[in-house]
Structure 1
């Protein structure tokens, strides 16, 4: 899956901690080459 998201950007919302669903999504997207911005509470 490496490079699948290369050059893509995303906004990850609700990043609470390393056990949140948003964290897992961010890890997978980052591993695929995406650039991300985060929001949290």
Structure 2
């Protein structure tokens, strides 16, 4: 049961890290191509 909680916690941290990377990538793409921000 504790092992399952550890696995869920590790998976949750991995998802948060992927979301942070995607946010940085999206921000850099929007900064590089400002046309996409307007629509």
Task: State the TM bucket, normalised to the shorter chain.
Answer: 0.3 to 0.5
Higher strand share: 1
Rg larger in structure: 2
TM-score norm. by structure 1 comes to 0.34
